[in-house]
Chains A and B, each alone.
Chain A
Amino acid sequence: MKQRHIAHYIILLLVSLIIVFPLYLMFVMAFKDSKEILGSRYLLPSLSPTFDNFIRIFQAASFGIYLVNTIIVVTGILVLQLVMIIPAAYVFARFPSRISGFLFILYVIQIMLPLEALIIPNYRIMNAFGLINTRVAMILPFVGSGYCAFLLRQAFKQIPRSLEDAAVIDGCGHFGLLRNVFIPLSKPTITVFSMISVATHWNDYLWPLIITDSNIVRTLTIGLGMFVQHESGADWGMLMAATVFITLPIILLFLILQHTFLESFLTSGIKG
């Protein structure tokens, strides 16, 4: 028994090493100058750490504004996704009919469509609404998330009818049911989806790049893109400094939410 424990820890240790190592290198490189990065001590932290890379990336791009925009866009997407999809998933799960079945299939098909294929049509739609170069244009295409609809429908389907009936007897309407029964009992799914959504859209690059023009509406990844070069190879110090700045908020967010995240899984056992 004890040996098995040790084996578990070794495996866990190895897995976390694989995950932590790139992050470690990112931090190490962000504080080195170019020559040191390619020197012989490339794996070790710098003896003379420098903030030059950070100073230079902030001069090169308006990362502060980008950060604010990214937060607006990411939360905008998430809130609207949940507002739109929770009622939709409720219908898909509880009122099966030809129409809702058909709509659900549309949602599922949408999961399989790569964004790249939709760039030009999406661009023309945004243009028709006069939304080019706005934050809204970065939010809209992702609101009707097929993935979210699929996940939540499955979660709602597993909720026992008896709970629903009890709530109806107590006088709950549709929205009361959603608020008092469906949403609380699907908290793990909603949490997981929220995290996936935030992480995904935090990293959106191509669409924001194409739909926006001015710095005041652009997002972090576009700032990062300026340091990834195709013709010449990248300046790693600057690239890593930019990466640190961009990933840090989301890493912190996940560390803070870790507890809530686990908790939602643990409590979910009581349901039904």
Chain B
Amino acid sequence: MKKLFKLAIILVLLLTLPLYMVMAGGKKEEAKPEGEKAAEETGNLERYKLSEKPVVIDFYFVVGVAGPLAQVIDGMVEEFNNTHQKILVQPVYAGNYNQTMTKVQSAILSGIPPDVFVVEISELYTLLAIDGIIPLDKYIEKEGGDTFTGQYFDALYGNARAEGKIWGQPFQRSTPILYWNKDMFAANADRLKAAGLDPTRAPQNWDELEKASTILTDREKGIWGVILPGGWNDWIFEAFVYQNGGKLISKDAEKSHFDSPQVLEALKFWYKLTNELKVSPPLRPWNQTPIDFSSGHAAMMYYSTGGLPLVRKQSNFDFGTAFQPKKVQYGTPVGGGDFHISKGIPPENQDAAWEFIKWMTSPEMAAFWSRESGYICINKKGLDLPEMKKYLEEFPNAKVAAEQLEYSFPKIMAPNFQEIRKVFVANLDAMMQGQQSPEETQKKLHTSVQKILDEY
């Protein structure tokens, strides 16, 4: 008798599961044709009833910089929808770069990819590995090939090219730049002049940087001369290697160049600033860095152009932006996110996605997006627009990033970039904290990066 009970209860337990599923299914929103549902959400149903049904495309986007950017994107998309009767774009906020990539991957691997999305530029090889995106060459060809791509700063396509094709269209792109506190430079003018520096401009080479940060460091007041921030220190360090005329890996992603003297020199310079002279804090969190700068606890910082609107908003003093100081040349990697179009979707959706991308990167939109976000105005024609000219006149600090693009390089790109980045950051961290010497760091980096590259 008791056994029967036992069995019955276990059965009930197992049976409730599917029952529950059914219950859950019932709660689901009534199924409607996708276009209609979407139109209803945006309150545009009326319009679409009159005209033909639009192509509905999902757009996953990233918010990487401060400010109500989700709102800005929603606004841009709404304008696109209002001016394009046959296409309805549904913007979907997908978190930061990593979360967006997870969301995109989950959707692609489940066979329901978003039509168009923005992810970090280093993810290109991963997207190719899961066969998730289509090349954009045929669209670019139709738009006029080189005349089309010629509108954009060339360095920006560097990370969108692979296997002889173009897979992405630049959108929210940034580079590191040097921010400097003009008031603090002016306050220490005498000492800077005594050392042969010009207090009215930012340091232009590594020597000047070293001297200026030594002078401006004030331990009693807790002021750092410069901040080499942690978190994305791999990105900033890459810039130093370019400035020194070196590179990290070969173009075909087969050979590590971490063993080169240029890399060692850059490592030694970082070690000097953080550990010998102690003019830069060893590992300041990325998010904390602009706060230190804006609250007057650092005279200079290396930071993304994406931080510009925020620093402008929260600083109580006059600040400037400048090219990152050079060694043998100016140099910087680019960063940020590109548009991609998914593979497993109907061709009309792909065409609609391209229409959308083209519109979002048009001169007007690129300039608008740059003003709102602090990202580079990727479209050269956008810089010539009157409202952009006016903006740059009022706020010349925003000009530096675009000008520095002349000296920019594609960001390091390799099939297993995330793995490389992991060892890269770990070793830089260890060195900045003084746990290993530059020589040791270089050796470790070279062997592990080469091993990762060989594995592929």
Interface residues of A in 220-235 (CB under 8 A from B): 222, 225-235
Instruction: Check if A233 sits within 8 Å of B93, measured CB to CB.
Output: no
B99 touches A124 (CB 8 A): no
* Closest beta carbon of chain B to A97's beta carbon, Å: 6
Indicate whether B85 reaches chain A with its CB closer than 8 angstroms: no
Kindly report which residue of chain B lies nearest to residue A236, judged by CB atoms.
B291
Is A95 an interface residue when CB atoms closer than 8 A count as contact?
yes
What number of A-B contacts does a CB cutoff of 8 Å give?
A: 164
Distance, CA A37 to CA B290, complexed state (A) = 13
Given A91-B10, A229-B63, are A124 and B109 neighbors across the interface (CB < 8 Å)? Answer: yes
Q: Select which of B64, B102, B105, B112 is within 8 A of A232 by beta carbon.
A: B64
Nearest Cβ distance between residue B47 and chain A, in whole angstroms? 19
Residue from the set A60, A87, A174 with the largest chain B CB neighbour count within 10 Å: A60
Interface contact A34-B99, CB-CB below 8 Å? no
Q: Interface readout for B6-42 with A: 1 if CB under 8 Å, 0 if not?
A: 1001101100100011001101110100000000010
Contact B286 A230 (CB under 8 A): yes
Which of A131-139, A158-166, A182-190, A258-266 forms part of the interface with chain B? Answer: A131-139
The smallest C-beta distance from A94 to any residue of chain B, in angstroms, reads 9
Instruction: Give chain A residues whose Cβ lies under 8 Å from the Cβ of B103.
Output: 209-210
Structural contact, B67 and A174, CB atoms closer than 8 A: no
Taking CB atoms, residues of chain B closer than 8 Å to A38 are 291, 294-295, 314-316
Is B28 touching A134 in the complex (CB atoms < 8 A)?
yes
Contact partners of A71 in chain B: CB under 8 A: none
Q: Which of B21, B93, B315, B336 neighbours the largest number of chain A CB atoms within 10 Å of its CB? A: B93
Q: How far is the CB of B36 from chain A (nearest CB, A)?
A: 14
Q: How distant is the Cα of A129 from the Cα of B309 in the complex, in angstroms?
A: 44
Q: Is the interface of A mostly helix, strand, loop or mixed?
A: helix
> Chain A residues with Cβ under 8 A from B295's Cβ?
38-39, 42
Nearest-neighbor residue (CB-CB) of A214 within chain B: B41
**Residues in B whose Cβ lies below 8 Å from that of A140:** 24
B25/A210 in contact, CB under 8 A: no
Q: Quick one: given A60-B71, A120-B110, A124-B110, are A39 and B316 in contact (CB under 8 Å)?
A: yes
Contacts of A42 in B (CB 8 A): 295
CA distance in complex: A17, B415 (Å): 49
Central interface residue in B10, B97, B288, by most chain A CB within 10 Å: B10
A87-B12, A95-B6, A232-B290 known; A123-B94 Cβ under 8 A? no
Which residues of chain A are near B99, meaning CB under 8 Å? Answer: 206, 209-210, 225
Given contacts A59-B68, A130-B28, 16 further A-B pairs with CB under 8 A are A34-B313, A38-B316, A56-B68, A57-B68, A61-B70, A91-B9, A119-B106, A127-B111, A127-B112, A206-B102, A213-B90, A229-B64, A229-B66, A232-B307, A233-B288, A233-B307
30 pairs, A vs B, C-beta closer than 8 Å? A34-B314, A38-B314, A38-B315, A57-B68, A80-B20, A84-B20, A87-B12, A88-B13, A95-B5, A95-B9, A99-B10, A120-B105, A123-B109, A129-B21, A129-B25, A130-B28, A206-B99, A209-B95, A213-B58, A213-B90, A214-B92, A222-B95, A226-B93, A229-B65, A229-B96, A230-B286, A232-B308, A234-B66, A235-B67, A235-B313
